[in-house]
Amino acid sequence: MTIDELIQNFHLQKEAVQELIKKYDKDFSNKKLNPYGVTTIEFQQRSDAFAQQSRLEGAIDALYIVKRDIMGEEGDVPIPSAALDIAEQDMEMEIVGQTSNAETLDDDIPGDPSY
């Protein structure tokens, strides 16, 4: 992936998280804040979504800094919209912070302190 593709990927993820936050806010507005309404688990999920949004914004800013200061590129990055139909395009989006379920052996990775 190029740095521009990473920036675009993070923007799409940020849009998805923002939609999730809007969904939580809408759901919360329809519930009474009492022990039988919104649960602490739901508040935690909303809090986690805000934390993920902050991480993505930080990653986007960091990538722009790397692109400008280290790579010396000044060009704009076309920002895609999550509203586009990604299924029609041949693209794959990596999710930041998501772990793979596949068992991988990383014993041969040099410099890996996990062995």
Contacts of 100 (CB under 8 A, 6+ apart): none
pLDDT category of residue 87 using cuts at 50, 70 and 90: very low
Please report whether residue 12 resides in a domain: yes
- pLDDT score of 72: 85
Residue ranges making up the domain that contains 37 = 3-75
Q: Greater confidence, 29 or 55?
A: 55
* CA distance to 2, 50, 55, 80, 94, per residue, from 7 (Å): 9, 19, 13, 10, 12
Q: Greater confidence, 38 or 99?
A: 38
DSSP at 70: I
What's the burial of 12, exposed, middle or buried (CB within 10 Å: 0-12/13-18/19+)?
buried
Please report whether residue 85 resides in a domain: no
As a whole number, the mean pLDDT across the chain is: 75
Q: Greater confidence, 114 or 68?
A: 68
Q: What is the mean pLDDT of residues 53-80?
A: 87
Number of structural domains the chain divides into? 1
